[in-house]
Amino acid sequence: MFENVKPKWYIGIGALVITIAFFVFGAAPLQQWLGMWGLAITELGILLIALFPIFLFKWKLCDIMPLKKVTLKQLLAVLLLFVATFIVANAVSVIMFFLFPEAAQMGAGMADFYTTVPFALSITIMSVMPGICEEVLHRGLIQYTLKDVKSPLTIMFIMALIFGVFHLDMYRFLPSAIIGFALTYIMIKTENFLLPVVFHAVNNAVAVALSYGTSATPAVSIPLASIGIYLALSSLSPFLVYFGVKLLSTEKPKRKSIFITLALTLLLSATGIGILAFSPLRPPITDFTFTEYVNKETPPNIHSNILIETEGVYDLSVLMSDVTITVITTVRVEHEDGEIVWEIGGADLFANRPTTLRTGLYNIIFTFETQSEQKIPVDISFAIK
């Protein structure tokens, strides 16, 4: 009965609509109830929704998700495109956070959600599972149903739009669309399903790893200088894209593509440097470095009465280094009324995040946890800028 059904765009869009309905009415309650395990069930649900029409219409999996040998040249190209996409997507996110401060709070909330389980489990649920399950839906089923669309560029824009909508977050729409565009390009050029799976998994793994490394209180807004820094970094992306595309293409690059690459690089770098040049500069509120010799009886080290005269967003950074990796050092930034605005700890840690500070006096408290009776040196640097 269903053996001769050809792939049509409305089948893929139908699967997308069903998936979104599943997100709203099934996945959201599941994740509230089961946390990260609910997210794992959500990914399996996405996979089942994607596979259902494939088996119903008896389409060949090898046509939809072709698996081929991956070459070193392809891996290098995917790495270059990943780095370029990651930088640009993060630059767009920072701009969104600057324009919409509530987006930064939501992003920090997601990071806290990732870190509710051990790192290895979080990587599995947040990286490996989406890399497979979501790609089966997008670069698999949906892209397969767009076979009648003749223009590869049109397919890439459609898939980018779909990937942005799929995440159901207006603040993440553009970064997600950028990633979706790159994933679709790789699938079209290589016709190898493994490569977008690897790209997607690595992208999510990096996000999870950064969440574990920089856990902190959500910031309410982002300094203007951050936009300048990210735009200046983004000036590397056109060249990364150029060489990534060159590695995946059998055609000789056109001369105009080099000029476009140079023009984009100059535009992004000039804009970023310009924003940095006109961003208001202020001296650090506090910036100190010391070495604490620690054993199991060492009391907390407290730096008191650090004055914040103007409410705003400040960059808080800490570097705590213990060569023996046996001392857990925790730093807590506490307002005079007892509110804890930032707390993070580890044996060997660097963390930095913009955080909103109210006016008043603050205490910076370092506590140490170790079973050693011998004194162990712990190098600490801390700054509020």
Three-state SS string over the chain comes to CCCCCCCCHHHHHHHHHHHHHHHHHHHHHHHHHHCHHHHHHHHHHHHHHHHHHHHHCCCCHHHHCCCCCCCHHHHHHHHHHHHHHHHHHHHHHHHHHHHCHHHHHHHHHHHHHHCCCCHHHHHHHHHHHHHHHHHHHHHHHHHHCCCCCCCHHHHHHHHHHHHHHHCCCCCCHHHHHHHHHHHHHHHHHHCCCHHHHHHHHHHHHHHHHHHHHCCCCCCCCCCHHHHHHHHHHHCCHHHHHHHHHHHHCCCCCCHHHHHHHHHHHHHHHHHHHHHHHHCCCCCCCEEEEEEEEECCCCCCEEEEEEEECCCEEEEEEEEEECCCCCCEEEEEEEECCCCEEEEEEECEEEEEEEEEECCEEEEEEEEEECCCCCCEEEEEEEEEC
Q: Can you give the CATH number for the domain in which 314 is found?
A: 2.60.120.510
Buried b (16+ CB within 10 A) or exposed e, 106-132: ebbeebebbeebeeeebbbbbbbbbbb
Residues 133, 18 share a domain: yes
What's the pLDDT score for residue 107? 62
Residues 179, 90 share a domain: yes
Edge-first strand listing for the sheet containing 376-384: 286-294, 376-384, 312-321, 348-357
Distance of alpha carbon 261 from alpha carbon 379, whole angstroms: 44
Residues 337, 199 share a domain: no
Residues 302, 186 share a domain: no
Tell me if 233 is assigned to some domain.
no
Distance of alpha carbon 106 from alpha carbon 226, whole angstroms: 18
Tell me if 127 is assigned to some domain.
yes
What's the pLDDT score for residue 217? 41
Q: What is the pLDDT of residues 99-140, one digit of tens each?
A: 876 666 566 556 666 667 888 898 999 999 999 999 999 999
Task: Give the lowest-confidence range in 143-157, 185-199, 252-266.
Answer: 252-266
What's the pLDDT score for residue 57? 94
Share of the chain above pLDDT 90, in %: 68
List the one residue out of 99, 325, 97, 346 whose CA is nearest residue 215: 346
Residues 114, 13 share a domain: yes
What's the pLDDT score for residue 32? 85
What's the pLDDT score for residue 277? 84
Edge-first strand listing for the sheet containing 301-308: 301-308, 360-369, 328-335, 340-346
Region 140-157: mean pLDDT is 96
Distance of alpha carbon 240 from alpha carbon 223, whole angstroms: 27
**Confidence band for 19, pLDDT divided at 50, 70 and 90:** very high
Region 364-373: mean pLDDT is 93
Structural domain count, the chain: 2
Tell me if 311 is assigned to some domain.
yes
Residue at a domain's end among 222, 245, 267: 222
Residues 191, 45 share a domain: yes
Q: What is the pLDDT of residues 81-105, one digit of tens each?
A: 999 999 999 999 989 887 876 666 5
pTM over 0.85: no
Tell me if 240 is assigned to some domain.
no
Region 355-372: mean pLDDT is 93
Residue at a domain's end among 206, 222, 238: 222
**Confidence band for 220, pLDDT divided at 50, 70 and 90:** very low
What's the pLDDT score for residue 219? 43
Tell me if 117 is assigned to some domain.
yes
What's the pLDDT score for residue 104? 63
Burial of 293 (0-12, 13-18, 19+ CB in 10 A): exposed
Residues 29, 173 share a domain: yes
Q: Which residue has the higher pLDDT, 111 or 36?
A: 36
What's the pLDDT score for residue 218? 42
Distance of alpha carbon 196 from alpha carbon 73, whole angstroms: 15
Residues 46, 127 share a domain: yes
Residues 149, 65 share a domain: yes
Residues 313, 217 share a domain: no
What's the pLDDT score for residue 250? 76
Domain, as residue range, for 94: 9-222
Residue at a domain's end among 207, 222, 237: 222
Tell me if 269 is assigned to some domain.
no
Residues 291, 215 share a domain: no
Tell me if 181 is assigned to some domain.
yes
Residues 170, 84 share a domain: yes
Region 303-313: mean pLDDT is 89
Tell me if 261 is assigned to some domain.
no
What's the pLDDT score for residue 213? 56
What's the pLDDT score for residue 215? 43
Average pLDDT over all residues of the chain: 89
Q: What is the pLDDT of residues 250-264, one digit of tens each?
A: 777 777 888 999 999
**Confidence band for 323, pLDDT divided at 50, 70 and 90:** confident
